[in-house]
């Protein structure tokens, strides 16, 4: 065996088993979430003490799971699993087969089977009410789409439209980002209007961003499922990480009222998670200061993203005694350094004066980034 053969063997083994691991994680997450949805619906219909909870069932479940935050069982997430079961009841076909051919069946609680030793899922399945000829087979859904794909499908109300995106997503091996892009670009509607849908599909396939094994593993559902810290979902370059480390120190050492609240602060906006690089509360200005760092030149949507974070904090986080939050957007490339403030409703003269006095100036931020880049 030559050295090149050794390298190729190790690479091929790693790639094959890594893909197997990603697929196994994906299937387990999908099955878990479907079963959670099933049990919630089953309890809502047949629970002995269901009258004690009513509409607060999911709220009370979240409270019970507060001691196990790594599982991610929030009220919103539990509602999503319930919806997942109701929209995809025919996945019961796959799950029943999966349990029969898997040792996992032996480790599940006795509740998974009824008195006749028949799968509870089959007994309670809603599949009979649906036309399976208009559905993607459950085996394809579970094996070819990650749960993150399927959760995106839940936003589509029309069954035929949902099936269309399921088929195209499987055919094109789309990433979740690509799926969202095509839904937002009205691909379904454009395909119906097109004189040559096949040509449209071919052109789209040539440009589409394909799913990679890392897309399955590096998502919030997978990290919660594996009990890993959510912050690890955020992928950062070494340069960006180092800049954030030093930027945090830089702002805190200025000694003008910065109190760090969090790094990679996760916020939920419109059903999606976003991460704010640094969040401070300024005790003098009585406001939150949000810092967003981009290792690239300025793009117009960067300001829009930061403004979205500011509006979120104004609506969801800001207290009555607080001033409106302030955003600092830092953007850099090889040839220039830009440091811009994106402020929201700073229309009180006294507060503006305090703002100018207590926050670092544009020149200070520019010099900081320039000095940090020189170190690399």
Give me the half-sphere count of Cα atoms (radius 13 Å) on the Cβ side of residue 255: 0
pLDDT at 112: 47
Structural contact between residues 143 and 166, judged by C-beta atoms closer than 8 angstroms? no
- Please give the span between the terminal C-alpha atoms of the chain, in angstroms, as a whole number: 40
Rg of the chain over Cα atoms, rounded to whole angstroms, equals: 25
Per-residue tokens: 238? 């070494």
What does the alpha-carbon distance between residue 306 and residue 329 come to, in Å, rounded to a whole number? 7
pLDDT at 337: 62
The secondary structure of the chain in percent helix, strand, coil, rounded to multiples of 5, reads 60, 15, 25
Per-residue tokens: 275? 């991460």
What global pTM score does this model have? 0.61
Domains along the chain with CATH numbers: 3-220 (no CATH), 234-375 (3.40.1350.10)
The C-alpha angle with vertex 141 and arms to 221 and 274, in degrees rounded to 5, equals 30
pLDDT at 215: 60
pLDDT at 218: 60
Q: Write out the DSSP string of 46-109.
A: H-TTGGGTGGGHHHHHHHHGGG-GGG---HHHHHHHHHHHHH-TTHHHHHHHHHHTSTHHHHS-
pLDDT at 82: 93
SS3 call for 331: strand
What does the alpha-carbon distance between residue 289 and residue 265 come to, in Å, rounded to a whole number? 12
Give buried/exposed letters for 28-50 (b at 16+ CB in 10 A, else e). bbbbebbbbbbbbbbeeeeeeee
Q: Report the Cα 140 to chain-centroid distance in Å.
A: 22
What does the alpha-carbon distance between residue 269 and residue 212 come to, in Å, rounded to a whole number? 25
- Residue partners of 189: CB distance under 8 A and separation at least 6: none
Counted residue by residue, the chain has a size of 376
Give the residue ranges of the chain where pLDDT is below 70: 67-72, 100-133, 193-243, 253-255, 296-298, 300, 332-357, 376
């Amino acid at each position: 065996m030559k050295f090149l053969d050794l390298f190729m063997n190790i690479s091929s083994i790693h790639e094959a088993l890594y893909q197997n691991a990603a697929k196994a994680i994906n299937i387990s997450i999908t099955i878990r979430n479907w079963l959670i949805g099933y049990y919630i619906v089953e309890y809502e219909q047949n629970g002995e003490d269901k009258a004690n909870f009513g509409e607060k069932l999911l709220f009370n479940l979240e409270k019970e799971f507060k001691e196990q935050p790594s599982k991610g069982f929030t009220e919103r997430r539990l509602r999503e699993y319930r919806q997942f079961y109701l929209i995809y009841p025919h996945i019961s076909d796959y799950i029943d087969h999966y349990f029969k051919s898997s040792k996992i069946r032996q480790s599940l609680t006795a509740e998974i089977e009824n008195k006749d030793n028949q799968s509870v899922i089959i007994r309670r399945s809603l599949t009979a009410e649906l036309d399976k000829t208009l559905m993607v087979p459950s085996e394809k859904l579970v094996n070819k789409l990650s749960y993150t794909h399927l959760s995106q499908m839940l936003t589509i109300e029309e069954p035929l439209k949902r099936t269309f995106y399921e088929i195209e997503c499987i055919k094109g091996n789309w990433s979740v980002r690509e799926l969202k892009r095509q839904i937002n670009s009205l691909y379904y509607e454009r395909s119906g209007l097109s004189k040559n849908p096949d040509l449209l599909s071919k052109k789209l396939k040539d440009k589409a961003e394909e799913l990679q094994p890392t897309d399955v593993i590096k998502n919030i559902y997978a990290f919660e499922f594996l009990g890993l810290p959510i912050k690890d979902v955020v992928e950062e370059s070494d340069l960006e990480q180092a800049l954030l480390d030093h930027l945090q120190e830089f702002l805190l050492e200025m000694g003008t009222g910065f109190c760090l609240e969090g790094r990679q602060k996760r916020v939920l906006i419109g059903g999606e998670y976003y991460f704010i690089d640094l969040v401070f509360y300024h005790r003098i200005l009585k406001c939150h200061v949000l810092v967003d760092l981009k290792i690239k030149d300025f793009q117009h949507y960067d300001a829009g993203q930061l403004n979205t974070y500011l509006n979120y904090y104004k609506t969801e986080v800001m207290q009555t005694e607080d001033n409106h939050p302030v955003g600092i957007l830092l953007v850099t490339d090889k040839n220039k350094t830009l440091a811009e403030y994106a402020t929201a409703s700073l229309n009180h003269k006294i507060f503006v004066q305090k703002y100018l006095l207590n926050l670092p100036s544009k020149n200070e931020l520019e010099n900081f980034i320039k000095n940090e880049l020189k170190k690399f």
